[in-house]
Amino acid sequence: MQFWDFHTHQARSTGAIQNAVWDQTPLTGYFSLGFHPWFLEENWQEHYRKLEQLATSEKRLLAIGEAGFDRIKGPELDLQKTAFSAQAQLAYSLGIPLILHCVKAHDLLLEFLKTAPKKLPSIIWHGWNLKPELAKQLLDFPVCFSFGRHLLSPESNATKWLEDCPRDRIFLETDDSAVEIGSVYQAASLILRLPVEEVAELTLANWNRISKRKINE
């Protein structure tokens, strides 16, 4: 049984979607690529064409991202919004999800969801650890939640939201932590009161439902 890791910064040739770095896209395995708000530059549009080409031709690219909004670190918000919007359109046109990085900017995502055309991609809010109330506000939209190391803390917001989160919106990840993906699945299994094998089936089925680029075990 494979415990799929839907977002990791480690190089992994199997069982994971690696967050790729520009000009160093992995030679094996699945990956995601996008303009992370931390590294977004004024001239991002010059590189956008490259992202478009790669995303269209390379079927190992399973998702656009990380992309999103960050009020703590990154360029001015107008730039972030424009770049996010372009990447969301790209993900939508390819029928693949966008992996969201969102820091102190829940309102900006909500604004985007409400004002964007109906053509929204599936958006996976990765590293979710905000209050369940904030998660519920996103349920009218195609937003899923990816949970990581915070599930190891019983009192965390991540743990609280996983208990109530619609099951068809759940993903699991290690992100940049040193935690093993197996431990994240074990934690989720306890919280969801589901055998860990079923949690593994659930996240994989969730992926294959929201994405045109399927993961075949």
Residues that bind Zn ion (CB under 5 A): 175
Instruction: Give the strand order in the sheet containing 5-8.
Output: 5-8, 16-19, 30-33, 61-70, 98-103, 123-126, 143-147, 170-172
Q: What is the C-alpha separation between 17 and 4, in angstroms, rounded?
A: 8
43 and 31 in contact (C-beta within 8 Å)? no
Closest CB to Zn ion belongs to which residue?
A: 175
**For Zn ion, which is the closer residue by CB, 7 or 169?**
7
Closest separation between CB of residue 29 and Zn ion, Å?
A: 16
In this complex, which beta carbon is closest to Zn ion, that of residue 51 or of residue 175? 175
Nearer of residues 70 and 175 to Zn ion, judged by Cβ: 175
**DSSP β-bridge partners for residue 102:** 69
Distance CA 105, CA 71 (A): 6
Cβ at position 118, least distance to Zn ion in Å: 28
Q: How far is the CB of 110 from Zn ion (least distance, A)?
A: 21
State which residue, 19 or 211, has the beta carbon closest to Zn ion: 19
Tell the smallest beta-carbon distance from residue 195 to Zn ion (Å): 28
